Structure 1
Amino acid sequence: MSSQPHADRATSSVADQSSNIAAKNPEKLMGSALTVVLLSTLAFAMKGLLAKFVYATGMTVDGLLLLRFLFAMPFFWLGVYLFGKKRPGDRKMKPTDLLWGALFGGLFFAAALFDFTAVSLIDVTVSRIVLFTFPAIVMILEILHKRRLPPIRQVVCFVMTYIGLMLVLAPNGFDMVSGNLWYGAAWAFGSALIYACYLYFGQGMIKTIGSMHFAALINTMAGLSMVLYELVVQKPLNLNLDGVLWTAGISIFCTVIPFFLLYEGIRRIGATQASLISLSGPAMTFFAAWLLLGEILTIPQLVGFAVVILGVASLKNSFSLAGLGRLLARPFARS
């Protein structure tokens, strides 16, 4: 019985030593956190790209989604078991949490279904840019929910975002846009709308049960939603070995691992800076799609791409070009 106080003091001593090390080496801590978040962003950015390789094997959107959720599910709960215990602010889940989890899991499933459908129809670069408008939708939801107009700066940035989006979708005018592009973009925008609702209304539950438990619960409920959906629609899956292997890679390296990396980055440097770094995601997707798939954006589309990035980035309260430059330069600063 007497060993517990000694263990507590030992744990406290280790924590104090870690705090002292962090205080003495703030640049090193910041650099490692930036690396963690950048790796997470890169992994998320590769999701749509790898999906193209899955579709090339003949596997359908439904087959990819079903396997993705089923593969990721045990790894999320393994992460909760290994790293999700006794975290500050977390509590054990209650039966009501399962009901809310089913709701948000259904939204997450629908957002994923719309997203991967869009990737199957149009270039992955364009679909990522359309999907990337979800922060602006979150702003609209906040306006409607709180019945309070945002600052004029946010309104200007909101307009900028959609001007950029129109340049990406219709660089030569709306009369030149193919019906297939509009159809694919509609799926991508639907995913952005659903994902924005999922994030905005689910943030309270994240604070209640903790981010890792929330991720595991939502992925499980989304997987169950996918199973029910497939039982109803009974669409072909076209499962094959190559497609299964690509999907396993998406599940582990573009779903489970980046979630854990992102949460660790948020723990170290906070959600605001982690989100700011994550704005590089569409740029990473564009570069990877150009390198591996040969996708090319025209000059007007590149301009629209830049406007979308700046418009969404400026929704962050602390955003500035100088601040962004200093933030991204820190990993390379001399110790």
Structure 2
Amino acid sequence: MRLNRAFYDLVGASVLWGTIGIAVQEAYRVGANSFGIVLFRTLFSCLILLYGGNRKILLRWESAVMGIITGAFYEIYAFTIILDGAPLSSFLLYTAPLFVILFSFVLFREELSLRKVMGSVIVIVALYFDYLGTPTPVELMWGILSGMSYAALISFSKFLQLRGFSGWDVLSAQSVWSLPLSLVVILPFSRSVSLGSVAGGLYMAVFGTIIPYYLFYRGIKIMDSAIATVISALEPVVTTLLAYPLLGQILTPLQILSAALILASSIWLSVSR
């Protein structure tokens, strides 16, 4: 029963993350810009979580490290999207399960198995069907760095929960301590404040950060880290499926095959537990 709940938590997080691309595009239509959205996402998340979080636990060194890792991931991935474009950055981000397998073995002695490696490779191949290109060495380097930093965030979040942090504590640490780095990087590019950026940032804070990360951390506390990361790869599947009715984008046969492979891999790994 606990594994079933963890699976549903992880799927719920992936579904909410999958709405981000749609919400951001709608925010752009009313004058938002990417830096403004990230700025207000960070500010709103920090304010909400700081109000309801455990302030004592925020002063622990582990909380600061979580914030640094999160801030590094946000900035690396944002730069990767600009450099590589959305399809390639999404594809390389989900090299993360392979790194999670390594990190979780070192930190938690979680099982190294051919099954988990195969599931991770299936996801990477499936996402490549959406890209179908040849990245340059620089694009590849930054994309892999985004996957590594995402894997570090996932692995360290589980490490914190094993040390007594609740999912809400991890969320508070990641939002509060990533704020300084985010402000340093984002503020110079956020000269214009628009209603679209505020609305987009608020949506991202609640439905792209607080609720899905809470579900994800609750799920990964029970589920194997690598398997949880593979399940989270349902995010681009949800985005693709929502883009058809909401944005009028046509699904290609390769996109349908990609979605089917990721879904099959997630179910296979979960059931085989």
- Residue 191 of structure 1 pairs with residue 126 of structure 2: no
The residue aligned with 1:61 is 34
| Number of matched pairs | 269
Q: Residue 212 of structure 1 corresponds to which residue in structure 2?
A: 168
Aligned-partner Cα distance in 1 for 2:10–2:108:
31
Where do residues 83-102 of structure 1 align in structure 2 (5 Å cutoff)?
93=57, 95=59, 97=60, 99-102=61-64
Q: What is the rounded CA distance, in whole Å, between the counterparts of 1:128 and 1:247 in structure 2?
A: 21
Letter in 2 for 1:243: S
DSSP-derived class of the 1:199 partner: helix
1:250 offset after TM fit, Å? 1.7
1:245 partner amino acid: A
Unaligned 5+ segments in structure 1 are: 1-25, 85-91, 324-335
The question of 1:244 aligning with 2:198 is answered: yes
Kept in 1, the 8 Å contact 2:53–2:168? The answer is yes
> Which residue in 2 is equivalent to 1:48?
21
TM-score (norm 1): 0.63
In the alignment, which residue of structure 1 is the partner of 2:179?
223
Distance 1:187 1:292, change over 3 A: farther
State how far apart, in whole Å, the 2-side matches of 1:109 and 1:206 are.
Answer: 19
Q: CA RMSD in A?
A: 4.2
The SS at the match of 2:53 is: helix
Q: Please name the residue that 1:21 is paired with.
A: none
Which of 91, 110, 113 lines up with 2:72 in the alignment? 110
**TM-score, scaled relative to structure 2:** 0.74
1:256-308 Cα offsets, whole Å, 9 max, x none, are 233345566779xx446994875643322211122223334432343244334
Report the AA paired with residue 213 of structure 1.
D
1:327 aligns with: none
Instruction: Give the distance between the partners of 2:262 and 2:218, measured in 1 at CA.
Output: 27
Whether the aligned pair in 2 keeps the contact of 1:69 and 1:219 (CA below 8 Å) is yes
Seen in structure 2, the aligned counterparts of structure 1 residues 235 and 205 have a Cα distance that, compared at 3 Å, is: same
* Counterpart pick for 1:290 among 244, 252, 258: 244
Q: What do the CA deviations read for 1:134-159 (whole angstroms, capped 9, x no partner)?
A: 22221133467799993333343344
Corresponding residue number in structure 2 for 1:319: 271
Secondary structure of the equivalent of 1:239?
coil
Amino acid at match of 1:319: V
For the residue of structure 2 that corresponds to 1:238, the secondary structure is coil
Work out the percentage of aligned pairs sharing the same amino acid. Answer: 21
Shift of 1:196: 0.3
Which residue identity is paired with 1:135?
P
Q: Radius of gyration: which is bigger?
A: 1
CA distance in 2, matches of 1:149, 1:39: 25
1:71 is matched with 44
Structure 2 equivalent of residue 253 of structure 1: 207
The change in CA–CA distance for 1:35 and 1:80 in structure 2 (over 3 A counts) is: same
Deviations 1:90-143 (A, max 9, x none): xx5274x2x333332122123223444555678867754543342222113346
Contact preservation (8 Å) 1:129, 1:308? no
2:97 pairs with 1:138: no
Q: Using a 3 Å threshold, how does the CA distance of structure 1 residues 118 and 285 change in structure 2: closer, same or farther?
A: farther
- Matching residue of 1:203: 158
User: Does the C-alpha gap of structure 1 residues 160 and 257 become closer, same or farther in structure 2, counting only changes over 3 Å?
Assistant: closer
Closer, same or farther in 2 for the Cα pair 1:78/1:42, shift >3 Å?
A: farther
CA contact (8 A) 1:105 1:222 kept: yes
**Residue 218 of structure 1: CA displacement?**
1.4
Conserved? CA contact 2:73–2:149, under 8 Å: yes
Q: What code does the residue aligned with 1:137 have?
A: F
